[in-house]
Each structure stands twice: as structure tokens, then as C-alpha cells.
A and B are shown apart, each in its own frame.
Chain A
Amino acid sequence: MPGPGYLNSDRLLIKGGRIVNDDQSFHADIYMEDGLIKQIGDNLIVPGGVKTIEANGKMVIPGGIDIHTHFQMPYRGTTTVDDFAQGSKAALAGGTTMIVDHVIPDPGCSLMAAYDQWRQWADEKSCCDYSLHVDITHWNDSVKQEVENLIKEKGVNSFQVYMAYKDYYQMSNSELYDIFTFLAERGGIAEVHAENGEIIAEEQTRMLQMGITGPEGHVLSRPEELEAEAVFRAITIASQTNCPLYVTRVMSKSAADIISQARKKGHVVFGEPITASLGTDGTHYWSKNWAKAASFVTSPPLSPDPTTPDYLNTLLSSGDLSVTGSAHCTFSVAQKAIGKDDFTQIPEGVNGVEERMTLIWDKAVTTGKMDENMFVAVTSTNAAKILNLYPRKGRIAVGSDADLVIWDTDSIRTITAKTHNSATEYNVFEGMELRGAPQVVICQGKIVLEDGNLHVTSGVGRFIPCSPFPDFAYKRIKRNNIVNLAVLRAVPRGMYDGPVSEFSMSRGGTPSASARNSPTKQPVRNLHQSAFSLAGPPTPDDIPIRPAGRRIVVPPGGRSNITTLS
């Protein structure tokens, strides 16, 4: 029920707080009006009728941005139990004031139609601001056109592709190359679900043959190496196409290591660990309780290595991993039980949108790995920068949206499904005691959480469009483009006019090439269309065209040592 403060909440003053941004912390009051931060400073002059919140020296941080959710996601005729209302409510309860959901069109379906559908669902129900990623589940010219329109007109700048889910979502290397090239030209961010789908398919078959049908088969058939391999490949493709890469759901140490190595080599790549990978591990897949084991099923799976969460928190603190999501995608036990006889049928997803901020505070800040500014960076600022929403979101500054959280560093609470706001029966963090929690949450300039009471209104969430070419990723990309072009230059040479041995293009001349069974054409190029030309190279100005005396002298037909010419 709306309390008295709620009615006057259009004008809000937070007094005596310590503002924590990603770059600095300082003491100041914040005045908000019409959902925007209007003033920051001491002794602010504010109009009457202002609801004042005493922060008592507590931290005031930008509201969290959960960059990865799956609310109301359709799955084989059912939907996840948390719809946009339930999900965003849980988000707000955890101090997250904006979510970015994934639009997942069925392969073959229109991206635009799916986008409209998701917009409709979210506009109806969402309690906080939201943005959308669109997943590219198939690739052809019409999809290309749709992606272009989504970037230009619909405010989507990030697109996820899949390297897993063979024969369904999975893209080939060539398609990935095309997509990345396309996105790099249009200023999009390529997000990638990195797992080697082909090997997974083989491993799944093997596991089922061995008689392993329970949830442990999920992690056995998707070992972390396959995640690391796909991450490595994605980075290679992204660096070839010079496209910024965003790896969703970093679940294992080896995948995280690959990302941090790549960053050290200068690649533009961002890694997103999720609440689950930062908070728990994959040992639960071996639980004797099927329902419990199944509730941890997500892809890539949680690593059975119990040191993984600590390691990922360390890399998050050092900046090797950039942002955190929750990949919140909850199914009821009955839904998970679709796969009770076959682990490959278990719907994938774990909870985490509500626990995300608290968990990172507990695992990274209170352990001394991370300072409060970095905490802000990984929970909101970096996400805002990647989505090109900064400084509207992810920062407490004059003119920014009034999405903020008064953070209580001392509170301790125990996570349990009995008290969480998600609709799912099972919480993967069940029983964990976590320090740090939001005390007051302000979303769109309105108090939504105060004194433990949640006051949310379904449908007030606005769609926040993201524009292409975010500086955070593209400044370096643009520079790289210039550098790369300088390298890619033809060597001006005299024409080779020596003997050319006879050859047969079709390879038909070889002793027994007759049995070719594939009609695929050899990658033979039309020499007449070959663009070799001395007049053509990018910048031929500085080089004299065709040095007159430069000929490669080889007596026609004869063998001679032409080594002396070099």
C-alpha cells in the first residue's frame, strides 16, 4: 500500500548521503523532481512540499542495471514463472532499477515481430525502466534488414548470437563472421552465448547412451572447456571483424581467463558473469533431490569447481570482467520436470535478479576484493556505458534519471524462497547469508522500497532506447579500423611474366578425382575479375607506378635460379 511518502514522491530530497559513483564518492544532498536529478550539493534550495529522506551518511548509489534477464520468456508453450511485473518487482526489491531483457525470436520468425511482442508485454507490466537485447536466431538478408531497422529506429544496439543449440539457434563460423561484420558497420554490440554446440550435441548423445539422464548429465555434457573454446573462437572472429564483443554468462574460470587474456592483448571484449556464477557452483547438480538439482540447470552450466565463484569475483574486481547480469529465467519445478527423464529437456534458467547487488556486495566488497566505486561500475555504470545510456543511467549527476538506491552495508539477510519476490519455488542461493542490502530504492523519482515495504506499480516502466556506436566500445574500434587499413595494402610489384606451369582448374586432371560426390564448387576465383591492378591500391601516391626496369627474368620454360634477383 502506498505510504504517506509515496504520494509526495514527485519531489524528493536525500539528505546526508554519501554519493558513490564509479569514479568517486562524496557527501552531498540530492534533489529530485519529475523523475530527474535536479540538484546535487550541500544546503540545496528546494521548493516546499518535498519529501525528505535522511540517509544518515549511508551510501547513495545509482540504481542497479541488470543487463541480462529473461522475464516472461516463452518456452515450448509455457512461459517463465516471473513475468515482467513479477520480475521487475523482484529487481526493485534487490536495488535494481532497470533491466535489459532478451528478445528471443523463434528461428525463422521475424525479429521485428518478436521485438514488438516483447515491447507490448513489458510496457503492460514492467515496474521499472527497461531496454531490450534482440537475439539473432537465424541469419539471412531479411534478418539483416530487420537488424538494421532495429538499430536505426527501435533503439536496440545489442544483439545476441548463439554458438550453442545445434540445429536450432546455433550459427556457423561464417555466419558469425557475417553478423559481426554487419554489426561493426552499424555500431551494434555483438553478444554471444559461447558454448560449442556441436561438441555438446555429441556429448549429450554419449551421456544419454551411458544411461545418465539426471541433471548431472547437463554439466557432464557441457564441460567448461567447451565454453572456453567458444569464447576463444568468438574473440578470434570479433577481432578479425573488428567488432566489439560481449560474452554473456561467463560461468567458468577458464572462460573468464580467456576473456582476460584477450583484453590484455587489446581486444574489445566484455565479460558478463551472472549472479549464479558469482554466488554458487555446480556441485548441486549431483544433489539427490532431483528438483533441487534441476533448479540449477542453466547454460553454460555452473562449474563444478567450487573455487569458481571466488575467482570470478576477483576478475570482476580487477576489471577483467566488466558487467554483471542475472540471466534471471525462472521455471517452476513442474516446468523443470519436463526433463525428468532426460536432462536435455530440462528448461534452462536460474533466478538472480533480486540477489544480484547484494551478492556482489557480499562476495566482492566485504571480502576486500572490490571498492564501492567498482561496485557501482560493475552493477550499473559499465552496463549503461555499453548500452550507450550513460550518463542518463548508471550515474548520480544532475540531469540523470532519478534511479537510485540508499545502500545499507550492514544489513544481513538470509536468502530463501519463502521471502523472495520471484514466483519460483526454488532459490539457487537458498540459505546464504548475505551482507549489504538496499534500504531505500528510488525508481523514476519515486520511492519503491522503504522500511522493507515494496510499493511498485505495474506498467510504469518505460522503454529506454539505446543508440548505436557506444563510445565505451567503439572509440577503440574506430581507431583500430584506421590502423588495420594501413596494414592491408598490396605490395606494388612488377607483373610476374615468367613461365606458368599448366594446371587444370577442376582438379579433374589428378589421377582419380572422378569420385567427387559433392557438387560444391572449388573455391576457384575468376582470374579476369581479379582486382589486381597497380593503379588501384588505396594510396599509390607515394610509390612510382611500375618501375620500368623491374622485370623478373626467367627464360621461358626453362628452369633457372632466380634467387639472385632478390
Chain B
Amino acid sequence: MSDCRRQWNREDELPVYLAGPINTGPNQKKTYGMFSSVEGAFESKTIDFDNYAVGRKGSRTPRSGSRERVLDAREGSLTNSTGETDDAHPGVEVRYSSGKEIPNGESERLLIKGGRVVNDDQSLYADVYIEDGLIKQVGENLANGRMVIPGGIDVNTCLMKHYLGTQPADDFLQGTKAALAGGTTMIIDHVTPAPGESLLEAFECWQEAADKKACCDYSLHVDIPQWNEIVKDELELLVQEKGINSFQVYMAYKDTYQMSDSQLYEAFSFLKQLGAVVLVHAENGDLIAQEQRKILGMGITGPEGHPLSRPEELEAEAVFRAITLGNRVNCPVYITKVMSKSAADTIAQARRKGSVVFGEPITASLVTDGSHYWSRNWAKAAAYVTSPPLSPDPTTPDHLNTLLACGDLQVVGSAHCAYSTSQKAIGKDDFTLIPEGTNGVEERMGFVWDKAVAMGKMDENQFVAVTSTNAAKIFNLYPRKGRIAVGSDADIVIWDPYSVKTITAKLQQSASEYNIFEGLECRGGPVLVLSQGRVVYEEGKLQAQQGTGRFIPRKHFPDYAYQRVKFRNQVKKQQGVTRGLYDGPVYDVVPTPKYITPAPSAKTSPISHQPPPIRNLHQSNFSLSGAQLDDNIPRRSGHRIVAPPGGRSNITSLG
């Protein structure tokens, strides 16, 4: 519990009573019947809010300016107590208790009435009272209303990933607007420093840009472009002072971002000590480089060369290797952008064997496939270019949705990184130069509903889990984000499972000309989106405000990933065997040079004459004199391995 509390950003703004998501009053141990939905749901209705205002910094939320509004989530017509009515859509009723409309209110008192609150563990009919951007009360009701779900968390966006000097079409403003329009109230963006660039500077640069522009709360992953001592210091600083707990390493992009297995091992070990989550871009970069050369050599320069040079086997191979490394280091591994069946299967198998590994499919891989790379329209084909590529196997999306539904894959990102067609055209004569990235931040929630829930693969609770809760748990934002509970942030979406819309670039919030989901019908969508307790999206109208997004720092050692790791650390302590000293004959080894073999003359490379990894025997710390396990056992003087010096003898009888 104490950990939960420490992770909060502005602790002083939090109600003093907040010790857990719901438990509030002294009655918390009281057991309710199985039909009772929320512990403490009743006593929380009696809270005197003025009590909790004590000690709060009220500058952001002058109480005089706050208003109370009631959102009626019952099935029925939407009415606004101020007189504005919109009877065209059945659904949400919006009422302000004060009766006044506040266009830009910093803070509102809101009541969502008659909704069905859906968390990852249960659904219940409850009203939600919101004040100052936090959920203050959740109380049971008996209405049959709309789904009220925690706002989505998109764990993978790249809104500032510059490519050869150009910026993505969607910046933090455009990207977060798109996110909010799709029901996502928090994004975690990737800071991508160029190799050689300071991680810290890059982080600050990203944070500055996001603070200016973001319309919803955000956090940042930091990508590690290379591995050295300076990076280590920066990582430590980022974890301990900047609130970053997730870092991405690359197994692809040879000669730029790619790390060798040894570096990965070191990076994993180091990040584990810091308690960070290791994100892995898993593709075998060495082989991709070779394949790209081959494909270009064959005269294939169009976007189809992209998937041809990055077959899904290379993704699966790297995933397997990353998991192996994770197992060795005993460190949680998070695979970003799971794009293929074989990669997903590898993750599923590893989880079955007990590895702590998380898989993140993205909107694109859950919805569409790689057959479009062969489109005759260059611009269309190029729009799909992302890495790892979409699999040309058309059964992939269905398979990934199934694994997502059964829990083998845990979170859904979008990897939203939108480039305009003219930017994509940088690679018009060479597919290796096409900037990589697809859209998806806006469509993410809708398509998970459409492809998984509406298809009967997944229930609404699992839907909440994969779109927000799991992400919040892995990255240590839970229960502040990813849950509707007293004390959580008021990032809430009222979800309409029956709305149907056709995706088209003409109506999207993103600035890119091309939407890779163009023409697809999507069931399910947000009716109303609350971010920080404010209505930012309502009935198709976006009321986002630039710069309102806060950076949400994250503590290290998220329980969801690290609890098992901690126990394994204790279990895995390996023990040597204590033996009598071997005192038989030892063959003399020529000390230097190590390899005197018949034909050492034809040496060609001076480097390759490196001796094998021979250790200094004198520094070897094998000793019977130190503290040993058998210290309490008297030394057995008669224990000698008898072998006549130099002679051959059968000592097998000793075994």
C-alpha cells in the first residue's frame, strides 16, 4: 500500500484518506453480500468533501469556479439542464448541478449517473462522482446504463520521432487530440534519442514539447540507442529523479540502434537493478541487413521489399532470444509491436514456461495485414510500412486478437507514428528509406472492441484490462490510471458498444493523409471522454485544450512485473559444490602462447590470434579457507583423489 501512495504525482493534492482504491471508512472490513458491488460504496456517499480540502493546494482548482455536472449514462435521451438538448442520440445525459455551463472550466464537479462501471475485474452499476480531476465516490445504483470504463492508455506512440530531419505529421497536439477522440486518455510516448545523443537531453526535449502541446496526460519511455557508461548514469538519473521506469532497446537497425547480445545482457542486468521494465524492439537486425541487400540486389525497391526483407521468422527469432536473455538475467521483458503469429506464439509459449514476458500487439497488427504492401498504389503501400512489418498472412489479426483475449498478450498500443505521403516518399526509390510508422492511436479502442469483444472473443472486463489496466499495472500507474475507483484520476470514457462508424482519413483527427484502416467499419466507440475530470470529447465534438496534459512520473519496481522476479531472485541463488581439493596430476599447459599447434604459421589476421578466454588462475577465488558451507564440518584429512602422478589409472572406483 505504501508503494501505491508514493507513486502519486502530486501527493499533496490527494485526499488524505486515500489508502487504496476504494477502501475508505472504518467500515471497510464489513462484508457485503455477493451482489454488492463495491466495498465502501455506501459510506463514501457520506463523505464531507470540505474535510478533504484541507491541506490541498487549491490554486489549480478554485472552488468558486467549480461546477457540478451530472452525466446521465442511462439509456435514454441526452438532455442538458442548461437547456441544450440533443435528442438525436440516445445515451448520455449531461447536467450541471449549478445549472451553468462552463466552457473552459479548469475543474468541474461531475456526476456520472446510471452507468455501468466496467473495470478489469468486475462490472457494476454505479454512479461516479468526480471532483478536481479525481474520482471521489463510486456508489451502487440499480440503473441499466451505458458502460463507463477507465480511459484508454496507449502505451506506444511516437509523436516526435524525427526521421532524417523530418518530424512526424502528428505532434503531441495532433496526436493526443486523436487519442482523446478515440477514448484514450493517456499516452506513453517513446523518446528516441539519436545514437550518441544524451538520453537526458532528449528526454527533456520531449517533455518540454509534450508539456506545451499534449491535451491528455502522458508519460515517456526512453529508448536506449547505444550502451556505454554515460548511458548507465543517465538511466539511473532518469529512473530515480525523472520518473521513467521503462526503456526500449533495439535488436534491429544494424549499425545504429542495434545492440549485441552481450550489450543486451548488460543492459537487462542494469535495468533490472534499477527496477525498470525492458522494452524490446525484437527483430534480428543482422539478418535484415543481409536480406535488404539481397532484395535490393534483385531489383525490388518498392514497399513490398520491406516485408520481404523482414520476414516474420526474424521477428520470432529475436523475440525468442530476448526472452532467453530475460530468463537468464531474471528480468521482466516487454515485447513492443507484436506483429506476427509466430512472434506471438513464441511469447505465449514462454509464458507457459513461466517467463515474465509481456507482449504488445498494436492497432495495425490487430486489424489489418501486410497484403497491402503489394498494392499498386505506391503511396498506399508505403503507408503500411512499419517495423516489424505487418504480416502478409491474412489470418494474423484474428490470431493476435485471440491471444489478446486469452491473456497471452497483455496490452494494446498503437505505435502511432504518422508520416505524410511526401515524407514516406523519401524512400520512393528504395524501400529501406521509407520512414516507418502507421497510424492507430485514434482507432485503437474501437478496433479492439470490434475485433475482439464484438466477435465474442473477449468480455468487457478483459477489454478494459488490455486497453488500460494492464498497461497501468506494468508501468506502475495503477490504480491511479486504468481503474475507476475512489481516488483514481477521473479519466473516464462512456462507451457505446453499438455505434458504428467507417474509418476514413477525411474524418480523422490525425494529420496524415492516409489511414491504413480506410474504409473499415468499426463497431464500438466513445460517446463521451473525460480527461482529468473534464469533458474533452462529447458526441463527436472534441473540446481538447492544448497543454493541459501532465507528465505522469512512474516509480520503479512495478509489482506487476517485479514481484515474481524478486522471489525468483531468492530461489535462483546458485550454489557451488564443496569438494576436496583436486590434488592429482595436472597436465602442464604451455602458458603463452596458448595455442601451440602444428600449423600456426598461416595466421592472417592479427586480431584473431586472441587467446581463448583464459582466466587468471591466481585470481580465481576457489578456496577452502574462506567462509564455506561446510565450515561446520570437520575437514576430512583422508579425502584425497589418488592418481599416481603421470600414470594412467582407473580412478572410477572413487565415484
Bound CA span A46–B575, Å = 67
- A337: chain B residues at CB < 8 Å are 582, 584-587
For B205, give the chain A residue with the smallest CB separation. A511
CA gap between A178 and B291 in the complex, in Å: 11
Question: A499-525 vs B: 1/0 string, CB under 8 Å?
Answer: 111111101111111111110111111
Complex interface: chain A residues within 8 A of B102 (CB): none
A502 & B300 in contact (Cβ 8 Å cutoff):
no
Per a CB cutoff under 8 Å, which of A108, A236, A240, A520 touches B604?
A: A108
State whether A512 touches B198 (Cβ < 8 A). Answer: yes
Measured between alpha carbons, how far is A516 from B255 in the docked complex, in Å? 12
B38 in the interface (beta carbon within 8 A): no
Across the interface, B622 reaches (CB within 8 A) one of A211, A521, A550, namely A211
Q: In the complex, what's the smallest C-beta–C-beta distance from A478 to chain B, in angstroms?
A: 18
Q: Contact size class for B?
A: 35 or more
Contact of A563 among B201, B505, B582 (CB under 8 A): B505
Kindly provide the distance from the CB of B355 to the nearest chain A CB, expressed in whole angstroms: 10
Residues of A within 8 A of B378 (CB): 493-494, 496, 552
Asked if B560 is at the interface of the complex by the 8 Å CB criterion, the answer is no
Q: Is B352 an interface residue (CB 8 A)?
A: no
Contact B284 A531 (CB under 8 A): no
A487 CA to B289 CA, complexed, in Å: 19
Residue contact A174 to B289, C-beta cutoff 8 Å = yes
A108, A201, A239: the one within 8 Å of B313 (CB): A239
Q: Which residues of B contact A530 (CB under 8 A)?
A: 296, 301, 429-430
Given the contacts A138-B605, A559-B420, A210 and B260 also touching, CB distance less than 8 Å: no
Instruction: Flag whether B574 is at the interface (Cβ < 8 A).
Output: yes
User: Does any Cβ of B come within 8 Å of A532's Cβ?
Assistant: yes
Q: How many A-B residue pairs have CB under 8 A?
A: 381
CA of A515 to CA of B234, assembled, Å = 16
Residues of A near B266 (CB, < 8 A) are 202
Chain B: CB-nearest residue to A223: B328
Which residues of chain A are within 8 angstroms of B597 by Cβ–Cβ distance? 74, 77, 106, 109
For residue B612, which residues in chain A have a CB less than 8 angstroms away from its CB? 165, 167-168
A516 — which chain B residues lie within 8 A by C-beta?
194-196
B256 near A177 with CB under 8 A, answer: no
B298 within 8 A of A: yes
Which of chain B's residues have a CB closer than 8 A to the CB of A538? 298
Closest beta carbon of chain B to A217's beta carbon, Å: 7
Are A561 and B286 touching (Cβ within 8 A)?
A: no
Contact of A490 among B196, B226, B304, B584 (CB under 8 A): B304
Which chain B residues border A165 with CB–CB below 8 Å?
612
B634 within 8 A of partner (CB)? no
B615 within 8 A of A: yes
A228 vs B302: C-alpha distance when bound (angstroms): 36
Chain B residues lying within 8 Å of A453, measured Cβ to Cβ, are none
Asked if residues B620 and A525 are in contact (CB atoms below 8 Å), the reply is no
Does B379 count as interface, using CB distance less than 8 angstroms? yes
A229–B324 CB distance below 8 A: yes
CA distance A331 to B596 in the complex (A): 18
In the complex the two chains form, is B327's CB within 8 Å of A225's CB?
yes
Once bound together, how far apart are the Cα atoms of A233 and B422, in whole Å? 37
A71 CB to closest chain B CB (Å) equals 15
The answer to whether A109 and B615 touch across the interface, beta carbons within 8 angstroms, is: no
Binding-face segment, A52-60, A392-400, A418-426: A418-426
CA gap between A142 and B603 in the complex, in Å: 12
Residues of A within 8 A of B540 (CB): none
Nearest B residue to A76, CB-CB = B589
Pick from B5-13, B161-169, B216-224 the stretch touching chain A. Answer: B161-169
- The answer to whether A333 touches B643, judged by C-beta atoms less than 8 angstroms apart, is yes
How far, in angstroms, from A511 to B617 measured CA to CA in the complex?
50
* Interface contact A423-B648, CB-CB below 8 Å: yes
Residue of B nearest to A169 (CB): B612
Q: Tell me if B's interface is mostly helix, strand, loop or mixed.
A: loop
In contact, B197 and A512 (Cβ under 8 angstroms): yes
Interface string of A213-230 (1 = CB under 8 A from B): 110110010010110110
User: How many angstroms from the CA of A43 to the CA of B46 in the assembled complex?
Assistant: 107
Main secondary structure, interface of A, reads: loop
Q: How far is the CA of A290 from the CA of B646 in the complex (A)?
A: 18
Cα A105 to Cα B595 in complex, Å, equals 11
- The answer, yes or no, to whether A78 is at the interface (CB within 8 Å) is yes
List the B side residues contacting A211 at CB < 8 Å: 576, 621-622, 626
**Is A144 part of the contact surface with B, judged by Cβ < 8 Å?**
no
The digit string for A532-566, where 1 denotes a CB below 8 A from any CB of B, is: 11001110000000000010101000011111011
In A420-473, which residues have CB < 8 Å from any B CB? 423, 425-427, 430
Of B577, B586, B594, most A-chain CB atoms within 10 Å: B577
B598 within 8 A of A: yes
B632 in contact (CB, < 8 A):
no
Could you say which residues of chain A place their CB within 8 Å of the CB of B429? 527, 530, 532
B residues within 8 Å of A by Cβ? 162-166, 194-198, 201-202, 205, 226, 254-256, 260-262, 265-266, 284, 286-287, 289-292, 295-302, 304-305, 308, 311, 313-314, 316-317, 320-321, 324-325, 327-328, 374-381, 420-423, 425-426, 428-430, 432-433, 504-506, 513-515, 518, 574-577, 579-580, 582, 584-587, 589-590, 594-605, 608-610, 612-615, 617, 620-622, 626, 641, 643, 646, 648-652, 654-655
24 contacts between A and B (CB under 8 A): A76-B590, A77-B597, A117-B598, A138-B605, A202-B262, A216-B576, A233-B320, A286-B577, A287-B655, A291-B641, A332-B648, A333-B643, A341-B622, A342-B617, A344-B614, A416-B652, A425-B650, A425-B651, A425-B652, A507-B165, A521-B255, A523-B256, A525-B433, A537-B299
Residue numbers of A with Cβ under 8 A of B are 74, 76-78, 105-110, 113-114, 117, 138, 140, 142, 165-168, 172-174, 177-178, 196, 198-199, 201-204, 207-208, 210-214, 216-217, 220, 223, 225-226, 228-229, 232-233, 236-237, 239-240, 286-293, 332-335, 337-338, 340-342, 344-345, 416-418, 423, 425-427, 430, 487-496, 498-505, 507-518, 520-525, 527, 530-533, 536-538, 550, 552, 554, 559-563, 565-566
